[in-house]
Amino acid sequence: MYKIAVAGTGYVGLVAGVCFAEVGHKVTCVDIDEMKVEKMKKGVSPIYESELEELMQKNYKAGKIDYTTDFKTAYRDADAIFIGVGTPEQPDGSANLSYIATVARQIAESITKDCLVVVKSTVPVGTNDKVEQFIHDFLVNDVRVEVASNPEFLAQGSAVHDTLNAERIIIGTESEWAKNLLTKIYEPFQLPIVSVNRRSAEMIKYASNDFLALKISYMNDIANLCELVGADIQDVAKGMGYDKRIGGKFLNAGIGYGGSCFPKDTKALEYLARQNGYELKTVKAAIDVNKDQKTMLYKKASKRLITFNGLKVAVLGLTFKPNTDDLREAASLENVPLLLEQGADIYAYDPVGAENFARLYPQGKNGNGHITYVSNIETALEDANVCFIFTEWGQVKAITPEIYKNLMRTPLVYDGRNIYHVEEMQDQDVEYYSIGRKPTNRDQDKELKNLELQIARS
């Protein structure tokens, strides 16, 4: 059992802290936000993540985890301090390292015994050399302190599961002492450990995330071509995925990747390459494709509808993926402003993310348009002229083609997540556009009737 302190209680820090406690270590999580600390002591998680609160409460009760703003006490006699603070993207694509620097200085001024500082935050290659130097520069007591790199690969929504069942643990160290200590800390997890030097560990994180982003952008690129030549991206992905060298995961074409990692990490690696006089063409391509992909459906719908002005637009899903309340780089953030600018009357549904979205786009009049948040999908669809699907929430998937047909004024659906089979939408005469697949055939007679009906009603 080791005494571990964790700096930062966001996704990375809190999940790591809770999982260390779960495998038997004694953990103190440090955050600057007192209210957040108080809530965590009561077992309330600051992030929406399954299993997390349960493990927080269980380990807090067992005295294996505590939360504090008092970093000095937490760091003073820790065997290892894990840093999991944010490294937000700056306008030029580089990572903002000021939070890491603050923590590094606090560590240097607090520790009274030999200590391994482990950086879990994603940082540009070479940063941890600097962090180590920085700590040495400010060190108050005569103790041994080294910095190790230990990137994490958890995905939001399954963070605890991903941490406890990781496919690999990457540890990047520069001495046997650091390597042995970190290996022992991870021993109870009983997971494969890949031990490399510090810079390689830092690079593994970026290279992995950017590869996955590239995989998605590649499929989106191929999807767009599929539409033009009459192929079906889902069949293509299935056929590709059987090849173990390609692998069947992360081949889902859609409305582009979002979240806190892929967009940030692709830009950061591209920036790092540029800084080193190198052009990282593949990653640049992934970024470019993703940018266009996000508004692909909006552009299609614009051509089909002439205007959105005064139309009731159902928006299903606001978060960047299901099972999270995170909106970062979500497709909704690109599309909703465009729809509002056009004067759309939006009815938005998201089981978890609506509250966060409403902070950015409050309910009511918004620019030229209007936005209403609804707690059930049927209300959004009732009498709607068009529907956009941005997130594949289970609740959205549960909506059958008949429901679109029966509720919408004109059953016209733009699906950014390929939730439905084209054939089932066709059977219900829903006009359906998705990604990398043929649209349903439009029944011209029926459309004309719909239009007549619409005119008669208004």
Q: Which residues bind ligand UDX (CB under 6 A)?
A: 153-156, 209, 216, 250-252, 254, 257-259, 261-262, 320-321
Name the burial class of residue 161, with classes exposed (0-12), middle (13-18) and buried (19+) by CB atoms within 10 angstroms of its CB: middle
Closest approach of ligand UDX to the CB of residue 50, in Å = 13
Supply φ then ψ for residue 319, to 5 degrees.
-75, 165
Pairing mode, strands 364-366 and 369-374: antiparallel
Cβ distance to ligand UDX smaller for residue 26 or 215: 215
Cβ distance to ligand UDX smaller for residue 60 or 414: 414
∠ CA 58-56-192, rounded to 5°:
95
Rounded distance between C-alpha atoms, residue 223 and residue 266, angstroms: 21
Closest approach of ligand UDX to the CB of residue 229, in Å = 21
**3-state secondary structure at position 318:** coil
Rounded distance between C-alpha atoms, residue 201 and residue 203, angstroms: 5
**3-state secondary structure at position 248:** coil
- Closest C-alpha among 55, 83, 80, 209 to residue 144: 80
Give 3-state DSSP helix, strand, coil % of the chain, rounded to 5: 45, 15, 40
Rounded distance between C-alpha atoms, residue 151 and residue 155, angstroms: 13
Closest approach of ligand UDX to the CB of residue 225, in Å = 17
Residue 61's CB is within 10 A of a number of other CB atoms, namely 10
Residue 196's CB is within 10 A of a number of other CB atoms, namely 16
Closest approach of ligand UDX to the CB of residue 169, in Å = 13
Cβ distance to ligand UDX smaller for residue 333 or 344: 333
Which residues are marked as active site?
261
Rounded distance between C-alpha atoms, residue 321 and residue 388, angstroms: 15
Closest approach of ligand UDX to the CB of residue 252, in Å = 3
Closest approach of ligand UDX to the CB of residue 224, in Å = 14
Cβ distance to ligand UDX smaller for residue 206 or 271: 206
Closest approach of ligand UDX to the CB of residue 345, in Å = 27
Residue type, position 303, single letter: K
* Tokens describing residue 243: 């090849």
Cβ distance to ligand UDX smaller for residue 206 or 347: 206
Residue 354's CB is within 10 A of a number of other CB atoms, namely 17
Rounded distance between C-alpha atoms, residue 61 and residue 43, angstroms: 9
Cβ distance to ligand UDX smaller for residue 2 or 48: 48
Place of tokens 């439009």: 442
**3-state secondary structure at position 70:** coil
- Residue 329 backbone zone (phi > 0: left; psi -120 to 50: alpha; other: beta): left
Residue type, position 358, single letter: A
Closest approach of ligand UDX to the CB of residue 121, in Å = 11
Cβ distance to ligand UDX smaller for residue 100 or 212: 212
- Closest C-alpha among 254, 299, 230 to residue 415: 254
Cβ distance to ligand UDX smaller for residue 122 or 342: 122
